[in-house]
Amino acid sequence: MSKKPLILVTNDDGITAPGIRALIAIMTTIGDVVVVAPDSPQSAMGHAITINATLHIEKVIIDNGNQEEYSCSGTPADCVKIGVKQILNRPPDLCVSGINHGSNSSINVIYSGTMSAAIEAGIKGIPAIGFSLCDYNWNANFEHCKSYIKTITENVLKHGLTEGTVLNVNFPNLTKNNIKGIKICRQAQANWDEEFDKRQNPYGKDYYWLTGKFVNLDQHKEDTDEWALENGYVSVVPVQFDLTAHHSIQELNTWDFDKK
């Protein structure tokens, strides 16, 4: 039996995306790799799962690596569920998701299919990391991410992660020589100021495209992921999925709920 770690690889851009191909290539140097990834792009799917439709999986060969690969008709979270429970014979030692074509820093973690896959693995007690590059281009260059991904992954395999947490790793869009290193951060407080681009279809009916601009409410805060990325660092944010705002429980207990 192999002593190598078993690594489940997934993403949200789809199994043929250059980002996941780069991630697979790195992971095959570290462990035994099984890929279960969406058969089509699933960006901005958040933590959606498929409960009202059927799921299909297909064993596929996409490149010459020694990984085993399955494409799945579901969301990133579905891929992790079906990978762990249906495809793998034992729980993986690690789940990695990405490399996403585009940033998943700060509030974007909430909307991110890449991170939902990592969080799904975390819920199952599997150490997990989501990797994203701040470049939405399909032909983005992932070269400068490789040694960092390897270092971070090896650290996670060596140390494990605090129970109830996974890692959200984002790379600035820089060449390797311009990256200053890795920075452990908190998620910047930020939101999107949406604009809806209103148009009319050929039949006179209105429709909308969701657009908007990113608003960083934590400008110049050096402990945030946004600051790290703007200043040439790889950002690493520990992410939890206990969403309880423990600090506000005491306040809520002072409310008067008896006036019914």
Q: Within positions 207 to 246, which residues make up the interface with a second copy, using CB under 8 A?
A: 207-210, 236-246
Give the nearer residue to a second copy in terms of CB position, either 3 or 246. Answer: 246
Give the contacts of 118 (CB within 8 A, at least 6 positions apart): 95, 96, 97, 128, 129, 130, 166, 167, 168, 239
Q: Annotate each residue in 155-184 with x if it binds a second copy (CB under 8 A) or - if it does not, as one string.
A: x---x-xx-xx---------------xx-x
**What letter would DSSP give residue 251?**
H
**Residues in the chain, how many?**
260
Q: How far apart are CA 239 and CA 131, in angstroms?
A: 13
CA dihedral 48, 51, 74, 160 (to 10 degrees): 60
Q: Of these, 173, 186, 214, 230, which contacts a second copy (CB under 8 A)?
A: 186
Q: Of these, 136, 180, 196, 222, which contacts a second copy (CB under 8 A)?
A: 196
What are residue 135's phi and psi, to 5 degrees? -155, 115
Q: Of these, 195, 219, 222, 232, which contacts a second copy (CB under 8 A)?
A: 195
Closest listed residue to residue 174, CA positions, set 145, 216, 136: 145
Judged by CB under 8 A, the chain residues 34 through 73 that form the site for a second copy are 41, 43-52, 54-57
Give the nearer residue to a second copy in terms of CB position, either 7 or 161. Answer: 161
Instruction: Dig out the tokens for 86 from the structure.
Output: 């249906």
Minimal distance, residue 64 CB to a second copy, in Å? 26
Minimal distance, residue 252 CB to a second copy, in Å? 5
Q: Of these, 16, 65, 91, 124, which contacts a second copy (CB under 8 A)?
A: 124
Instruction: Dig out the tokens for 4 from the structure.
Output: 């190598």
Instruction: Dig out the tokens for 78 from the structure.
Output: 């579905």
Q: Is 121 in the site for a second copy (CB under 8 A)?
A: no
> Is the bond leading into 61 cis (omega within 30 degrees of zero)?
no
C-beta atoms surrounding 78 within 10 Å: 25
Minimal distance, residue 1 CB to a second copy, in Å? 25
Number of residues this chain uses to bind a second copy (CB under 8 A): 83
Judged by CB under 8 A, the chain residues 1 through 40 that form the site for a second copy are none
Minimal distance, residue 222 CB to a second copy, in Å? 13
Per DSSP, what are the bridge partners of residue 72?
A: 38, 57
Q: Is 144 in the site for a second copy (CB under 8 A)?
A: no
Q: Is 136 in the site for a second copy (CB under 8 A)?
A: no
Q: Of these, 148, 169, 216, 226, which contacts a second copy (CB under 8 A)?
A: 148
Give the nearer residue to a second copy in terms of CB position, either 63 or 197. Answer: 197
Instruction: Dig out the tokens for 64 from the structure.
Output: 């010459």
Q: Of these, 8, 77, 79, 96, which contacts a second copy (CB under 8 A)?
A: 77
Strand bridging mode 233-240 / 181-184: parallel
Q: How far apart are CA 97 and CA 154, in angstroms?
A: 15
